[in-house]
Structure 1
Amino acid sequence: IKQLRPQMTSRQLVRAGQVSTLVLVVLASAWVPFIERVSDSLWGYLQLVIAFTSPPVVSAFLLGLFWKRANGTGAFVSLLAGGACAVFMILSQTYDIVPYLNEMHFLAKANLLFVVSILVHVLASLASSPPAPQKVEEYTYRKKLFAQETEELRGSAWYRNYRILAIILLAITALVVGVFL
């Protein structure tokens, strides 16, 4: 708020914070019956929300990282389309709009949402102008960058090498998941 209205006093800022907190509490309270319709538990609902909000974000991140042709328009459109698809999936589950879709496990729906988000991002990026090469060069993955980084990490101790730490983390995660399956 301070950026939009720099002339606001501290007292006015506190009041704006109180009002916005009250509005959010009322909205959250009004949302509870919907949560009960979507999932049996709050934990299940949180998993559902994360499963439906992360695929569009991850697809935009991965395409932006590995594809030089990806652009902001494609990312924006795929985030909107992914969000709309996620809302539709939740509404379908709640009101039984598409029975076949409702029978799918929510993680399978998340995978479907990921594929849809990637397709929308690719199509929207191809339909719009490509980003300037100098704009994406620094942020897009290249083999040359990987080779440079490998040389820099060569002399590092294992506990300072993020690649080794990532492999250890993946092994621990696989072990924990394997134990609880």
Structure 2
Amino acid sequence: MWKPLWKLVRAGGLVLALAGLAGCSSVDPALYASEKPVLRLPGYFNGVVDAWGVFTDRSGRVVKRFTVVMRCSWTVVDGVETGVLDEQFTYSDGSQQRRVWTLRKTGAQQYVGTAEDVVGEAVGETSGNAFRWRYTLALPVEGRIWHVDFDDWMYLMDNDVMLNRAVMSKFGIRLGEVTLSFRKRPS
């Protein structure tokens, strides 16, 4: 009788330990509050922004390379700052993809966003030069759709350049990373 009970207690302890570790791995955007230049999403993502990126698998191997042209604009809709980021992806194999984000400012530093292939709403927060953006993407993989979680961090380096690192995971297991470099075109 005690052996099955002990196995259950050990398994429960392992689950609690893993949950505790997962909770410790989260970085608070407020850590970057004093970093300069200050990132203002409607200022940076306005006009045309170019990006170059790679997707790496868990081992660090580059699986895909791509470029992005983003056409961005902001308006005030019903008293709320609202942005449209129209992303045109071109992959190294010649394939193309489009994602159109609609972002809404919901607080002093908070944003929510939607896109056709995003499950529910993305949530984000700016602080100093950083922006943390979390969402679930419906990602086509070998004829199936996988819901993959993204923990996306962007860091404004100067008025024109931003670096981006996104960790992709499923059920808390890291699948890979997306790394991008953005450059804002002169207006």
In terms of Rg, which structure is larger?
1
Settle same-fold status: TM greater than 0.5: no
Which is helix-richer, 1 or 2? Answer: 1
Normalized against structure 1, the TM-score is what?
0.21
Which is strand-richer, 1 or 2? Answer: 2
